[in-house]
Amino acid sequence: MRKILSAIVLFLAFVNVHAQIIAPVKWKSKIEKKSDTEYILQFDGVIEDDWHVYSQFTPDGGPLAMEVLFNNQKDNFEVVGKATESKTRTAFNDVFGVNETFFEHNVQIRQAVKTNPKSNGIFQVELSYQVCKEVCIQENKYFQLDTKTLRGKEVESFEELSLVPSLQSGLVAAAENDTIASKTADVPAGVTKTADKEKTDPWTIFLGTLLAGILVTFTPCVFPMIPMTVSFFIKQNANKAKGKFNAVFYGICIVVIYVLISLPFHLFESLNPDIFSEISTNVYLNLFFFVVFVIFAISFLGAFEITMPNSLANKADNASNLGGLLGVFFMALTLIIVSFSCTGPALGLILGSVLSTEGGAMLLTIAMLGFGLGLAMPFMLFALFPSLMGNLPKSGGWLNAVKVFFGFVELALAFKFLSNADLVLQLHFLEREVFLAIWIAIFAALTLYLFGKLVLPHDSPVTNLSVGRLSLGLLVLSFTIYLIPGLWGAPLKLISGFPPPMTYSESPLGFGAAPASAVTEPLPEGAKLAVHGIVAFEDYDTGVAYAKKVNKPILLDFTGHACVNCRKMEEFVWSDPKVLSVLKNNVVLISLYGDDKRELPENEQYVSKKGNKIKTIGAKWSDFQITRYESNARPLYVLIGTDEKKLNEPIAYTPDIDTYDAWLKEGISKFK
């Protein structure tokens, strides 16, 4: 068992290393002291093969030239002349029609500075440059150099350096050329930084799937097995302690088997870090999940049963006769196989839901761990405390009612995948009103079922309603009534992210509201009226040009038509009056959809730096996001100035209104 767990840990460590985005230039920095007030700041870069960095002196009209910028120059030091460079190459660029100047393999920048009498002896320098191969990456590297130690180090941003000078010197002396990994001091508490790339809270996934695993035990395939299996282990051995150990080990094996199911996805992710993003927006996979969920739902409703092949179950059962811990492992495998008709739909729900997000393979492993633990917990609990089995309810018709309940829920969730496919293709077949009408019908039918007014195959006659069934029926009825105003434009924040957004409906501004064409204020060219009446652009260049015209900062919204967390942000956070006021009046919003499957014109298609053919609008913006900001998180929010440089650190999914509002205002305050 220890060997298996060790192999899992090593495997996960391997894929984690190989899923990183590689920076083409590695930098070191140092200081040379010329006199008590004169210093040379030196920056040495190693450039990966086939990449090149453009010089400060590459001419106008060509690629972006390198800039050496200073953050804390005022009243601290003076810059003496322009930075000098190591050897460069010059070549004619047919595209720009100029002789461009660039570095290959190595680059060195040296800048002379002179300190003032009140100087703190610390220099904060930013190198802004383009590094190119098939495509170009705009990089901004930040350095802090200290005259007391004559050392320099690369940092993540200058915000994290708001420490007193004495502490700064101590940090610089501690290590040379390390990247500060701690959170920045100026980033508001609770903000999710870009580097974290967390799309969904792992604890929410774990607790949700843990609950799903526990609920699945209350199905006809699993529930009767609990007392039988626990009694078998305890009575099999004269030594009760050993019997309890075997039963607990049996539960651990269930958990391990489910975790092992997720491991191949780590391999897929190591080969292609964007695979989960591609799965979440792939039309055919979403349609596949829709069909699978509908089939599972019909099975739960009693039309038929889905079972694994008998030969597979028989082989696992025969292997369980080996004895010892290996035999216990195959007993756990046998349970998983024979109970598939009940656990399969729940397992499909977990796989489909996590794969259709951008949470990554690790999130899937967490989900499978939670589900396996929830399923195994009753077996382990009753093995340790056998006397509790006397409190278990007897098997009966209520088990089938639980199964049918899951069937209705699974049928409702199936339409989320169909909606994803429709949104990505922008077909407008399953708009918000149609989606909600289907959900209302499904949950109304579930209400009738719980009240005993609707009878399905395998149901026992309902002579009276238990308190639990009545309470659940009232809860579902309340939820159904809650959905109805959504047909007329109610926001329905309780299910935010599941139905299509308000902008994807027959009445985008709400039932009875004036159509967008009736808005008296004309929209800027290339803009559209987005959620909550915010003016938004869906093309980067058009939006930037407008921002320069009106001299406002730009909010880049890297989003997706099928992105649940994007919709939650729009419906929970953007709708808040103070946030909405900022979005409408203080920034220019550019929403870039990374899952838009519409094809680019042939003359705009290109090959990415990874060698992938960029053929669709979504692929273009996804590649732009990864290339420019080294992140594929959705949503991702970036505040930039009209010079297209970041005003503060980008953030991902941030559902706290005050945190998001503080982040917006922090970036806007830095706009000049």
Query: For residue 14, what pLDDT is reported?
Result: 38
Final residue in a domain of this structure, among 133, 162, 186:
186
Query: How many structural domains is the chain composed of?
Result: 3
Within-domain flag for 410: no
Within-domain flag for 293: yes
Model confidence over 366-424: pLDDT tens digits?
Answer: 888 988 898 888 888 887 777 777 777 776 677 788 888 888 988 998 898 898 888 87
Average pLDDT estimate for 195-208: 64
Instruction: Using the predicted structure, report yes or no on whether residue 102 has a pLDDT greater than 60.
Output: yes
From the list 542, 318, 567, the residue with the least C-alpha distance to 420 is 567
Within-domain flag for 413: no
Say if residues 420 and 562 touch (Cβ distance below 8 Å): yes
From the list 360, 319, 388, the residue with the least C-alpha distance to 199 is 360
Within-domain flag for 409: no
Q: In this structure, which amino acid lies at residue 18?
A: H
Query: For residue 275, what pLDDT is reported?
Result: 57
Q: Are residues 170 and 222 in the same domain?
A: no
Q: Are residues 119 and 229 in the same domain?
A: no
Q: Are residues 340 and 305 in the same domain?
A: yes
List the strands of the sheet with 588-593, edge to edge. 527-529, 535-537, 588-593, 554-559, 636-640
Three-state secondary structure readout of 41-69? EEEEEEECCCCEEECCCCCCCCCCCCEEE
593: left (phi over 0), alpha (psi -120 to 50) or beta: beta
Model confidence over 523-555: pLDDT tens digits?
Answer: 898 898 888 889 999 999 999 999 999 999 999
Q: Are residues 145 and 47 in the same domain?
A: yes
Final residue in a domain of this structure, among 361, 396, 431:
396
Q: Are residues 235 and 365 in the same domain?
A: yes
Q: Are residues 130 and 96 in the same domain?
A: yes
- What is the pTM (predicted TM-score) of this model? 0.50
CATH code of 547's domain:
3.40.30.10
Q: Are residues 390 and 271 in the same domain?
A: yes
Q: Could you list the residue range(s) of the whole structural domain that residue 345 is in?
A: 202-396
Q: Are residues 583 and 652 in the same domain?
A: yes
Within-domain flag for 230: yes
Give percent above pLDDT 70 in the chain: 77
CATH code of 55's domain:
2.60.40.1250
Within-domain flag for 665: yes
Query: For residue 644, what pLDDT is reported?
Result: 93
Q: Are residues 274 and 374 in the same domain?
A: yes
Which tokens go with 65? 């030239």
Within-domain flag for 314: yes
Q: Are residues 567 and 620 in the same domain?
A: yes
Mean pLDDT (the chain) is: 78
What one-character DSSP code corresponds to residue 459? Answer: P
Q: Are residues 210 and 302 in the same domain?
A: yes
Within-domain flag for 529: yes
Query: For residue 173, what pLDDT is reported?
Result: 35
| Strongest mean pLDDT among 57-71, 309-323, 411-425 | 411-425
Model confidence over 143-172: pLDDT tens digits?
Answer: 888 888 888 888 876 644 433 333 333 333
Q: Are residues 174 and 262 in the same domain?
A: no
By three-state DSSP, how is residue 642 classified? coil
Final residue in a domain of this structure, among 381, 396, 411:
396
CB atoms inside a 10 Å sphere around CB 76: 18
